[in-house]
A = this chain, B = another copy of it.
Amino acid sequence: MARNKAYSEEEVLGKAMEVFWKNGYEATSVRLLEKEMGINQFSIYSTFSSKKELFILSLKKYTEYVKVHRFHTLLKKDAGLKDLETFFHHFARKKRTEQHYRGCLVVNTTGELGAKDPDIAKALSNYFGFIKNTIKQVLQNAVEAGELSANADIDKYSNYLLGVLQGLSVGAKALEEQQIKDIVDMTMANIK
């Protein structure tokens, strides 16, 4: 063994995620990362290999972040339709309370980079798969609790809700609060 790192990898990765989230991939320079992560370029490259690798790890970190800060209510064992509705309605509130809503890091990246890079595309796909499964589990709970008909096509429903969620992630950056509300109302009325 030898000298220890003077920083926590998870901690500086969290900072990197914030920078990418705020600025986007291309607009984030390694100098800015260096400043915000609090470590210099040598450390960034020796620990995270490249800007792209750091970004992909940031996308994974983001998944962990939203599990705790966005999807926690839906990840409860007994989460049901009511939780789903509350979750979606949070978008309209966010639009009002946060001056400059940053949107979803993964949706932003889909817009900026799309499928340009296969490694990044895989990370995007993994994230959306996780979101879909989370929603699907809630719908499954709802069926079991009798909130939804037993022959409801919950796979179809979860794809639909994922799609609307992607729309809301764009809309919350570009539309008015009332428009967000309308989208959420219409969508939830469609789940029955």
**A124 surroundings in chain B (CB, below 8 A):** 174
Interface residues on A, range: 35 or more
Write 19 A-B pairs (CB below 8 A) sorted by A numbering.
Answer: A24-B112, A24-B113, A107-B170, A108-B112, A110-B111, A111-B112, A114-B174, A121-B174, A128-B175, A155-B182, A156-B182, A159-B178, A159-B182, A160-B183, A160-B186, A162-B179, A163-B171, A163-B183, A166-B170
Q: How far is the CA of A27 from the CA of B165 in the complex (A)?
A: 27
Give the residue name and chain of the B residue nearest to A175 (CB): B128
| A interface residues (Cβ-Cβ under 8 A, vs B) | 24, 26-27, 100-103, 107-115, 121, 124-125, 128, 132, 155-157, 159-160, 162-171, 173-175, 178-180, 182-183, 185-187, 189-190
Contact B26 A111, beta carbon cutoff 8 Å:
no
- Considering the complex of A and B, which 10 residue pairs feature the smallest CB-CB distances, nearest first? A111-B111, A167-B167, A26-B26, A163-B183, A160-B186, A159-B182, A112-B112, A166-B170, A166-B167, A108-B111
Secondary structure of the A contact surface, majority rule: helix
Give the residue name and chain of the B residue nearest to A169 (CB): B170
